[in-house]
């Protein structure tokens, strides 16, 4: 799916990440932890090609990111669902249209997918907010909408940056359950989070690997969680 | 056929695709207004160049093939000299026909200057002879020499003296009109490019979101291009209609009004302004497309 080979990334002067290698295989479930500012978001951006590493190689679906043109990136992003920490939407369109946006831009907004949309909105607890505009949503609602948007295309990989940051425990359990269901369907999941309780809850339900970024390196965290 | 299909698909479009770009009130109205104003001006520039083109053609063509012989002679010798001059002209190669103007024709020519009641018979008016030439014309110098010998009172006017500068002026006017049309097209392109660029910059977040969910550049660009093309098309259509209305209000071409009243469209010339809106649309399509591709490449 996604392979990183000895990659490094530096912003301006300092190196943020160095010598990182990782292979995300189909059906794997990863958590990514680390102190804030350690480079979790940058790491996720490297994984879906929003950033190009300053050294090393990133391969997305067997394509080297350096050789991909803008259309290749667009097509790759239809297979990678991304949830950002600060979710952005088209503020002039209602939530339902925003969640359906990936279908719209790829020309797959047919009846079958639209009925899935209702189910999905209900699942993330936005069933009665379909016609609200994104600026009217709370932080938690925005995150749920972003997650729904990320998974509506049934992508091969879901990358989520603190997807449960603004939601209560019950909702975070539901979102986690959704991601676990997707994982059982063979999707590759990577969640960057601070929330150790979430990781523990997930470990009881699905086989996960926990990665930790510390001192610019990526380490496999022990079973101590 | 596939090109036509592409155009149809572009016009019919995709309603949802248009919705991904937020409605932008003021840019929309300004683009429409600019297109309308430019189309209005283009109608006049077209009218000017078409009218001056006609004028240049008329002066160049009709007048070039005619000249006038003026005979000033004492009353007693007038008819004799006229007959002699006609004889000379009839034997001159390059002259198709020569005809002495009648008394009535001459007084009609003078009426605008002296009024209709002038007793022409009492005045020593020179006799005019109208000469029609072949396409290649005659040798003016040779004819003058012969006339000098046989008809001492004759003065040959081959019209070149006043025709040339007029013809030149009309030609220049036409070039000016064409340059104006081109400038208007270029200005329209520049204004629409600026508007499109502003709209794209203002919608950086929209573009970022669309890129994140896997929209291709072509999809995003098309949403903007469609919007600006239709604004320009609509604005130009309104401007063209207003411009044509204004041209129709101009006085019709007439001999009394001289060449100024000829400003307007005649016959097939009316078809030219119909081209203005589609051309404005095409200009907007190209300008926005280029602006979009450039801006999208700069954005991540």
> Are the Cβ atoms of B23 and A92 closer than 8 angstroms?
yes
Look at A155 and B6; give whichever has higher pLDDT. Answer: A155
**Residue A166 confidence (pLDDT):** 78
- pLDDT band per the 50, 70, 90 thresholds, residue B259: low
The chain B residue lying nearest A77, using CA atoms, is B214
Q: Which of B20, B217, B296 sits opposite A90 (nearest CB)?
A: B20
B153: phi then psi, degrees, rounded to nearest 5:
-90, 5
In the predicted model, what is the mean pLDDT of residues A80-96? Answer: 90
Residue contact A74–B212, C-beta within 8 A: no
pLDDT tens digits along A155-195: 999 999 988 887 888 888 888 988 898 899 899 999 999 88
The answer, yes or no, to whether residue B1 has pLDDT greater than 50, is no
CB B120, CB B110: distance < 8 Å: yes
Radius of gyration, alpha carbons of chain A: 17
Taking contacts as CB-CB distances below 8 angstroms, the residues of chain B near A89 are: 209
Q: Quote the CA–CA distance of B232 and B235 in Å, as a whole number.
A: 5
Q: What is the pLDDT of residues B37-64, one digit of tens each?
A: 999 999 988 888 888 888 777 777 666 6
Best mutation site among A90, A102, A157 for testing chain B: the one with the most B CBs within 10 Å?
A90
* Angle of CA points A52, A57, A63, to nearest 5°: 85
Domain topology for A2-220: Rossmann fold (3.40.50)
What are the pLDDT digits (tens) for A114-162? 778 888 888 888 889 889 999 999 888 898 899 999 999 889 999 999 8
Residues 6+ away with beta carbon under 8 Å from B171 = B52, B56
| List of residues 6+ apart from A208 with CB closer than 8 A | A29, A30, A31, A199, A202
Domain ranges of chain A: 2-220
pLDDT of residue A134: 93
Indicate whether B240 pLDDT > 90.
yes
Taking an 8 Å cut-off on Cβ atoms, the answer to whether A82 and B212 are in contact is yes
The DSSP line for A25-72 is -TT-EEEEE--TTSSHHHHHHHHTTSS--SEEEEEETTEEGGG--HHH
Q: Inspect the interface and report whether the beta carbons of A77 and B212 lie closer than 8 Å.
A: yes
Q: pLDDT value at position B234?
A: 93
Contact B296, B92 (CB under 8 A): no
The pair of structure tokens assigned to A75 is: 């097509």
Q: For B213, which of A76, A109, A149 is closest by C-beta distance?
A: A149
Give the residues across from A189 on adjacent strands: A29, A158
Query: Which residue is closest to A88 within chain B, CA to CA?
Result: B209
Cβ–Cβ below 8 Å for B16 and A74: no
Among chain A residues, the shortest Cα distance to B23 is held by: A92
Q: Please, which pLDDT band fits residue B254 given cuts at 50, 70 and 90?
A: low
Please tell me if residue B300 touches chain A, with a CB cutoff of 8 Å.
yes
Using one digit for the tens of pLDDT, what is the confidence trace for A15-33?
A: 888 888 999 999 999 999 9
Whether residue A105 and residue B215 make contact (CB cut-off 8 A), yes or no, is yes
Residues 6+ apart with CB under 8 A from B297: A70, B217
Lowest mean pLDDT segment, chosen from A61-65, B109-113, B120-124, B190-194: B120-124
Q: Is residue B300 over pLDDT 60?
A: no
B16 touches chain A (CB under 8 A): yes
Report the pLDDT value the prediction gives residue B260, as an integer from 0 to 100: 53
The secondary element (H helix, E strand) that includes residue A152 is: none
Q: Is the pLDDT of residue B36 over 90?
A: yes
CB proximity under 8 Å: B 269-298 to A: 296-297
Chain A contact present for B214, CB below 8 A:
yes
Q: Which of B17, B19, B212 sits opposite A93 (nearest CB)?
A: B19
Nearest CA in chain B to A81: B213
The Cβ-side half-sphere exposure at B228, using a 13 Å CA radius, reads: 32
Q: What is the mean pLDDT of residues B160-172?
A: 77
For residue B277, the model assigns a pLDDT of 93
The torsion angle over the Cα atoms of residues B249, B239, B190 and B201, rounded to 10 degrees, is 160
Rounded to the nearest 10°, the torsion over CA B232, B238, B240, B246 is -150
Task: For chain B, say whether A133 makes contact (Cβ under 8 Å).
Answer: no
Tell me which of A164-178, B34-48, B149-163, B272-286 is least confident. B149-163
CA distance B119 to A131: 93
Q: Is the dihedral of CA B75, B77, B82, B85 positive or negative?
A: negative
Which residues from A are below 8 Å from B215, CB to CB?
74, 105-106
């Amino acid at each position: 799916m996604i392979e990183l080979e000895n990659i490094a990334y530096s912003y301006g002067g300092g190196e943020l990440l160095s010598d990182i290698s990782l292979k995300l295989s189909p059906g794997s479930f990863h958590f990514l932890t680390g102190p804030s500012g350690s480079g979790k978001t940058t790491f996720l951006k490297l994984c879906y090609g929003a950033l190009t590493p300053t050294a090393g190689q990133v391969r997305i679906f067997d394509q080297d990111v350096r050789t991909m043109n803008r259309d290749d990136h667009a097509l790759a992003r239809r297979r990678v669902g991304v949830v950002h920490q600060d979710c952005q939407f088209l503020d002039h369109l209602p939530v339902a249209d925003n969640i359906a946006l990936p279908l719209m831009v790829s020309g797959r907004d047919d009846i079958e997918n639209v009925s899935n949309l209702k189910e999905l909105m209900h699942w993330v607890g936005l069933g009665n907010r379909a016609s609200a505009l994104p600026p009217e949503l709370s932080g938690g609602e925005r995150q749920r909408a972003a997650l729904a948007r990320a998974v509506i295309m049934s992508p091969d990989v879901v990358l989520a940056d603190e997807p449960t940051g603004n939601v209560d425990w019950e909702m975070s359990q539901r979102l986690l359950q959704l991601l676990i269901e997707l994982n059982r369907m063979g999707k590759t999941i990577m969640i960057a989070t601070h929330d150790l309780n979430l990781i523990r809850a997930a470990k009881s339900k699905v086989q996960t690997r926990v990665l930790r970024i510390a001192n610019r390196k990526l380490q496999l965290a022990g079973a101590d969680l | 056929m596939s090109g036509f299909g592409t155009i149809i698909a572009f016009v019919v479009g995709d309603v949802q695709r248009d919705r991904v770009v937020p409605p932008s009130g003021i840019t929309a109205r300004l683009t429409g207004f600019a297109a309308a104003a430019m189309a209005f001006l283009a109608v006049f520039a077209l009218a000017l160049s078409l009218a001056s083109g006609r004028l240049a053609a008329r002066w160049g063509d009709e007048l070039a093939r005619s000249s006038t012989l003026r005979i000033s002679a004492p009353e007693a010798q007038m008819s004799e000299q006229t007959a002699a001059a006609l004889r000379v002209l009839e034997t001159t190669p390059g002259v198709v026909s020569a005809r002495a103007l009648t008394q009535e024709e001459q007084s009609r020519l003078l009426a605008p200057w002296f009024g209709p009641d002038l007793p022409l018979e009492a005045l020593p008016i020179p006799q005019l002879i109208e000469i029609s030439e072949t396409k290649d014309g005659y040798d003016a110098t040779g004819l003058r020499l012969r006339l000098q010998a046989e008809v001492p009172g004759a003065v040959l006017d081959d019209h070149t003296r006043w025709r040339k500068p007029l013809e030149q002026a009309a030609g220049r006017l036409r070039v000016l009109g064409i340059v104006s049309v081109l400038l208007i097209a270029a200005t329209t392109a520049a204004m629409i490019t600026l508007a499109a660029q502003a709209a794209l910059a203002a919608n950086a977040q929209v573009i970022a979101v669309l890129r994140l969910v896997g929209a291709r550049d072509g999809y995003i660009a098309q949403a903007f291009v469609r919007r600006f093309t239709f604004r320009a098309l609509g604005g130009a259509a309104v401007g063209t209609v207003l411009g044509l209305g204004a041209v129709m209000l101009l006085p019709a071409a007439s001999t009394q009004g001289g060449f100024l009243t000829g400003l307007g469209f005649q016959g097939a010339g009316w078809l030219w302004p119909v081209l203005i809106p589609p051309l404005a649309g095409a200009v907007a399509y190209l300008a926005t497309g280029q602006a979009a591709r450039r801006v999208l490449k700069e954005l991540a």
